[in-house]
């Protein structure tokens, strides 16, 4: 007799990610699954790994989850879930049905969702895919028999500085269709603001947005082209565009974007072509795909420009604010944010003096910081706490010494119950006020 489907889950969640815990709790409760929260390892515990610290902290978290399952007994499977997993409504019933098709004692890992780079159907009419090469560990069941070997495998991966989430030596199957995907790779507040930016793109709910982003990302199965081929194609597209052959240039750009949706130079060129045609839908699709693949400030900036063209100034301000938060040194997002905020402020009674400075220089960092602090308190511009959080964080990127931005953001996070994130901001605010000898952060305050 095969194993029964899991009725319990272990959720990996960082202490600081209160919002994610809130969301994953609701999702698992909706499925009728009980769960145990396991504190995830912070990337600071692998600081010596540099840019890959977060990756190996994730590996250590999965190792801890598997060890906890083993310590509690191996008689029934448990679902291991990262806190950004999003599930289909019928996940529990589908898992029970699919696990009946798993070859008895001939499988090690059953993914509810993962990226498959190489694989094949498990058989005619079988709702499973054999995974020969793939990755992602946001939702999976490990066979109790395989847990000791999986734990050793992750130990070796951490020790030798190699990937852990491929589970290469093990027999792996993935649910077909996929039952679980991940949220977009953005912070909690940014994710919710980003979702609201999609309202004019007809994505009805936040969950649909996360699923949409991850499906776009996972649908790109081909590896990026070699750098030399990318340069050749980009040069060819630029040559066609310069010769007035925009159709051919756009076609070549799409070839590039088919394997690397976040290829910024190709997207910039294609964006100009689509804008000239008035093809807002085409530009929207490319920008969403790029954001799903890599949530860079440049792509938020593109969304902001599109929102301006469509007349959505509040949405444009939100997109430009995230762009500034992600890259405060970039002048164009700052200038456009300053102009849009000035337009929005002109419709309000008695706008602050900072907008006079923005009228002369829209990308002025200090004037823009003051404008963001003002905007965060205006419900017609920042209608929710998430928009305000993003605005305060962007203000801190522009002026890291702004005690007002620190204090306001800390107060807002505390009011939402996120005391873990608020505490270091309060300490930072105290240090700024004790050590600062410069003028107030908001020179335009009356």
H-state helical runs in 167-205: 188-197
For residues 276, 281, 286 and 290, what is the CA-based torsion angle, rounded to 10 degrees? 120
Residue 334 has pLDDT above 60, yes or no: yes
Residue 157: the pLDDT is: 92
Over the chain, what is the mean pLDDT?
Answer: 82
Confidence of residue 436 (pLDDT cuts 50, 70, 90): low
What is the DSSP annotation of 59-114?
HHHHHHHHHHHHHT-SSS--EEEETTEEE-TTHHHHHHHHHTTSPTT--SEEESS-
Cβ atoms within 10 Å, residue 63: 20
Residue 40 has pLDDT above 90, yes or no: yes
Task: Indicate the range of 222-231, 242-251, 300-309 predicted with least confidence.
Answer: 222-231
Residue 245 has pLDDT above 60, yes or no: yes
Mean pLDDT of the region 162-178: 86
Confidence of residue 439 (pLDDT cuts 50, 70, 90): low
Is the pLDDT higher at 223 or at 88? 88
Mean pLDDT of the region 276-304: 82
Residue 414: the pLDDT is: 85
Residue 213 has pLDDT above 80, yes or no: no
| Domains of the chain, CATH where assigned | 8-182 (3.90.550.10), 183-295 (1.25.40), 312-446 (1.25.40.10)
Q: What does the alpha-carbon distance between residue 69 and residue 55 come to, in Å, rounded to a whole number?
A: 22
Residue 292: the pLDDT is: 65
Spell out where 136-194 has E strands. Answer: 139-142, 172-175, 180-182
Give the position of tokens 């203000």: 395
Q: Are 421 and 383 in contact (CB under 8 A)?
A: no
Residue 331 has pLDDT above 90, yes or no: no
Q: What does the alpha-carbon distance between residue 332 and residue 312 come to, in Å, rounded to a whole number?
A: 18
Give the position of tokens 């953001």: 409
Q: Nearest-CA neighbor of 366 among 352, 380, 377, 350?
A: 352
Task: Indicate the range of 61-65, 119-123, 182-186, 379-383 predicted with least confidence.
Answer: 182-186
Q: Are 192 and 129 in contact (CB under 8 A)?
A: no
Element (H, E) at 12: strand 8-13
CA contacts within 13 A on the Cβ side of 194 = 28
Residue 65: the pLDDT is: 94
Mean pLDDT of the region 126-153: 88
For residues 153, 158, 163 and 165, what is the CA-based torsion angle, rounded to 10 degrees? 60
Q: What does the alpha-carbon distance between residue 323 and residue 299 come to, in Å, rounded to a whole number?
A: 8
Mean pLDDT of the region 171-181: 85
44 SS3 class: helix
Mean pLDDT of the region 358-368: 88
For residues 199, 201, 205 and 207, what is the CA-based torsion angle, rounded to 10 degrees? -130
Confidence of residue 200 (pLDDT cuts 50, 70, 90): very low
Residue 18 has pLDDT above 80, yes or no: no
Residue 205: the pLDDT is: 43
């Amino acid at each position: 007799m095969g194993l029964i489907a899991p009725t319990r889950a272990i959720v990996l969640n960082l202490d600081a990610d209160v919002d994610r815990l809130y969301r994953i709790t609701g999702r698992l409760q909706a499925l009728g699954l009980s769960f145990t929260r396991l504190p995830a390892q912070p990337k600071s515990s692998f600081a010596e790994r540099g840019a890959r610290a977060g990756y190996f902290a994730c590996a250590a978290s999965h190792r801890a989850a598997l060890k906890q399952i083993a310590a509690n007994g191996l008689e029934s499977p448990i679902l291991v879930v990262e806190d950004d997993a999003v599930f289909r409504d019928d996940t529990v019933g589908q898992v029970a049905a699919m696990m009946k098709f798993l070859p008895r004692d001939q499988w090690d890992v059953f993914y509810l969702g993962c990226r498959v780079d190489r694989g094949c159907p498990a058989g005619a009419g079988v709702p499973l895919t054999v995974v020969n090469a793939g990755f992602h560990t946001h939702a999976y069941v490990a066979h109790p028999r395989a847990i000791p070997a999986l734990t050793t495998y992750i130990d070796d991966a951490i020790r030798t500085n190699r990937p852990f989430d491929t589970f290469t030596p093990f027999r792996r199957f993935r649910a077909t269709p996929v039952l679980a995907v991940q949220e977009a790779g953005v912070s909690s507040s940014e994710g919710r603001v980003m979702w609201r930016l999609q309202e004019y793109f007809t994505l009805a709910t936040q969950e649909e947005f996360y699923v949409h982003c991850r499906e776009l990302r996972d649908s790109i199965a081909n590896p990026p082209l070699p750098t030399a081929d990318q340069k050749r194609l980009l040069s060819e597209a630029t040559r066609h565009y310069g010769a007035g052959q925009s159709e051919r240039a756009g076609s070549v750009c799409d070839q590039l974007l088919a394997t690397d949706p976040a290829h910024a130079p190709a997207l910039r060129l294609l964006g100009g072509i689509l804008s000239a045609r008035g093809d807002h839908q085409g530009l929207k699709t490319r920008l969403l795909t790029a954001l799903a693949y890599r949530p860079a400030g440049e792509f938020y900036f593109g969304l902001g420009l599109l929102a301006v063209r469509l007349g959505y100034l509040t949405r444009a301000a939100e997109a430009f604010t995230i762009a500034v938060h992600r890259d405060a040194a970039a002048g164009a997002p700052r200038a456009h944010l300053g102009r849009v905020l000035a337009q929005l402020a002109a419709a309000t009674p008695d706008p602050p003096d900072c907008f006079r400075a923005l009228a002369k220089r829209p990308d002025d960092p200090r004037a823009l910081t003051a404008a963001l602090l003002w905007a965060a308190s205006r419900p017609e511009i920042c209608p929710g706490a998430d928009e305000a959080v993003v605005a305060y964080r962007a203000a801190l990127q522009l002026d890291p010494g702004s005690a007002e931005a620190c204090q306001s953001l800390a107060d807002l996070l505390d009011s939402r119950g996120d005391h873990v994130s608020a505490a270091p901001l309060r300490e930072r605010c105290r240090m700024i006020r004790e050590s600062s000898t410069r003028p107030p952060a908001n020179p335009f305050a009356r």
